[in-house]
Structure 1
Amino acid sequence: MDGSIASPRPFLALGIRLVTAFALATMGMLVKLGGERGVHLFEMIFWRQAITLVLIGGGLLLLGKLATVRTTRLGAHSRRAALGLVGMMFTYGTVLLLPLAEATTINFTTPFFAVFLAVILFGEKVGFYRWAAVAVGFCGVIVLVQPGSSAGVNILGVVVGLIASAMVALISFQIQDLNKTESPWAIIFWFTLLSTPVIALALPFVFTAHTAETWAILVAMSVCGAMAQILLTTSLRFGSAAVILLMDYTSLLWATWYGYAVFDRAAPASLWLGAPLIIGAGVLIAWRERQLARARMQPVAEPEPPARA
């Protein structure tokens, strides 16, 4: 999959993704705060996209670089916008339905879906290591969910979270493809420009009056989301999704801390049993992807000429 990277710089990609994990965890915390204050899911997504569009578009206009987002791939941007909007609905929905730490852990199943998509979309042959990792990872999900237990996690939230992870995996492949010809700014600009009018159609049905504090939460959420989107798209420009996704696991530390400090909820024991299985499986997949990428890059040795008599 490394062939889809526009300009490989793995250490820079890892560093960017580390900051991305913090921004995403903070955004998730603010989404949950907004939900507890009665802000509708669709309204949060609208403000998230609209404010990002203003920030990105205004910044490019002030810098005189608005022309740099000109594209010949409007169809690809439209497909990315459609899937991205649906993905946001499921991602935000997961945060609203589950505690932060559990929602974050479910999101770590993205590499498993990346394996499935590599088989379905690209016909890639997947061996024992990656299939075993997928099996172990989903065992971790079962441990986390605790089916049949009164203390189990909300099943609807888990299903929504798994769909969100599948969408993120698919969108990551889309972004890597767009990165071949488009700048990160162009990818984000077209995503917000194409998706904002669509989600705005729901605004008259879900909008409610808000206090100044709630507006501050919505603005902060949107800024964190814009930063995360810029950083995420940039990271995929410099590194393989299979490798840099490792940094996403640090968001569990922030989500656990936010859950305790902001929502007064400590992580359950099932999280500490299930999360290592899910994270370990993701690490194994990333390691195997890296090994395969290195093998593909090694030149094929030419046969030695026969010795002369």
Structure 2
Amino acid sequence: MSNEHSHNLRGIMLRCGAVVCFAIMSAAMKWASADHVSAIEMLFFRSAIGLPVVVAWLLLGPGIGIIRTKRPKAHLIRSMIGMSGILMNFQALIMLPLADVTTIGFSAPIFATILSALVLKEHVGGHRWSAVALGFIGVAIVVRPGGGEVLSHVGIAAALLGAIGTAGVTVTIRQIGSTEEPGTIVFWFFVASAIVSGSMLPFFGSVHSLETYGVLAISGVAGAFAQILMTMSLKAAPVSVVSPFDYGQIIWASLLGWLLWSTAPGTNTLVGAGLIVCAGLYTAWRESRKRRLTIAATPPLE
């Protein structure tokens, strides 16, 4: 087995682990919402309980010294965008079925392509714009305009805003990732999330059952491991290799939704998810092809 193939396989396995953890986190948050847990509380438990896991990972891996940064403003901007997106996603989980929230969330790469063109001034060719259009058609089918099972309009808006927030995070990480280590970015995001959400608990928090706190603890640990595994996957293999496996989260969300709430995804969700996945996979394939052509065109060092 070649070294590159071994690294790619490791990256894929890590990414699949991250996908399972993200699905567990989302399902746990959805379960906790039955006890009237707010989105702010979800963010607090995700960050406060996940932070020790992240610190342990840093101590065992790159070292705690990696948290030093010369770009605190960039981390603050990234964290604010990330927190806004996550809060919207959590609010959508409260109001919509798990599979629908997950499916709409995968429109994030579509918005990331648009923001890359507008903010980073990246060239986006006709093929990628076609994928964006296909993805938007998929989203339109999922949200069922004019027919099918009616979903909460507020919930749909929250899910779409969450996807835009995720896309914004993708763009900002591209900007600061050239000078900051992934562990640095993850650490400061968890710290900022814990501080901001903790300061808002007196206004949005309430007392819950021990079972609910246990479920929130599970979601926090799962979320931290998901973030770590995703970061490690990107160090092991290129984005174009591992990102297609993210769509496995739709399968896990549908399975957990059926097992826990007896809710199976409807026809609109399945058809829309298929179009969104096709758009995402095609974009990933184009990026992989572009990378290979760039490498092939690069002359060897003398």
- TM-score by length of structure 1 reads 0.87
Q: Deviations over 1:197-253 (max 9, x none)?
A: 112121111222222111110100100011111122233334444543211100111
Task: Return the alpha-carbon distance in structure 2 between the equivalents of residues 110 and 266 of structure 1.
Answer: 23
Q: Superposed, which structure 2 residues align to 1:1-150 within 5 Å?
A: 9-57=7-55, 65-149=63-147
Which of 76-85 and 218-227 deviates more? 76-85
Q: Report the secondary structure of 1:152's partner residue.
A: coil
2 CA distance for matches of 1:292 and 1:58?
Answer: 37
Task: Decide which moves more: 67-76 or 273-282.
Answer: 67-76
One-letter code of the match for 1:19?
G
CA deviation after TM superposition for structure 1 residue 178, in Å = 4.2
Q: Offset at 1:255?
A: 0.5
Contact 2:116-2:171 within 8 A present in 1 as well: no
Partner residue of 2:259 out of 247, 258, 261: 261
- 1: CA distance between counterparts of 2:289 and 2:138? 24
Counterpart check, 1:194 vs 2:192: yes
Asked if the contact 1:175–1:236 (Cα under 8 Å) also holds between the matched residues in 2, the reply is no
Distance 1:175 1:196 in 2: 20
Query: 2:171 corresponds to which residue?
Result: 173
Any gaps of 5 or more consecutive residues in structure 2? 1-6
Residue range with higher mean Cα deviation, 32-41 or 66-75: 66-75
Give 1:5's aligned residue. none
Aligned partner of residue 265 in structure 2, secondary structure: coil
Q: CA deviation at 1:95?
A: 1.6
1:172/1:241 contact within 8 Å kept: no
Judged with a 3 Å threshold, the aligned counterparts in structure 2 of structure 1 residues 98 and 243 are, in CA distance, closer, same or farther, namely farther
Q: Which amino acid aligns with 1:271?
A: T
Instruction: Give the deviation of 1:177 after TM superposition.
Output: 4.5
Spell out, residue by residue over 1:133-159, the C-alpha distance to the aligned partner (whole angstroms, 9 max, x if none). Answer: 111111111222221225233332222
The aligned counterpart of 1:245 is 243
2:275 matched residue in structure 1: 277
Partner in structure 1 of residue 284 of structure 2? 286
Q: Which residue of 1 aligns with 2:156?
A: 158
Range with greater deviation from structure 2 (84-93 or 64-73) = 64-73
What is the TM-score of this pair, normalised by structure 2? 0.88
**Structure 1: gaps spanning 5 or more residues:** 1-8, 302-309
C-alpha RMSD of the superposition: 2.5
Equivalent AA in structure 1 for residue 290 of structure 2: L
How far does the alpha carbon of each residue in 1:98-153 deviate from its partner, in whole angstroms, 9 at most, with x for none? 11111111111122112112211222222221111111111111222221225233
SS of corresponding position for 2:136: helix
Q: Distance in 2 between matches of 1:209 and 1:17?
A: 35
Give 1:307's aligned residue. Answer: none
Distance 1:45 1:27 in 2: 11
Percent identical among aligned pairs is 33
CA distance in 2, matches of 1:62, 1:115: 35
Render the CA deviation track for 1:171-205: whole Å, top value 9, x for unaligned: 12333444444443322221122232112121111
User: Whole-Å Cα distance in 2 between the matches of residues 236 and 186 of structure 1?
Assistant: 15
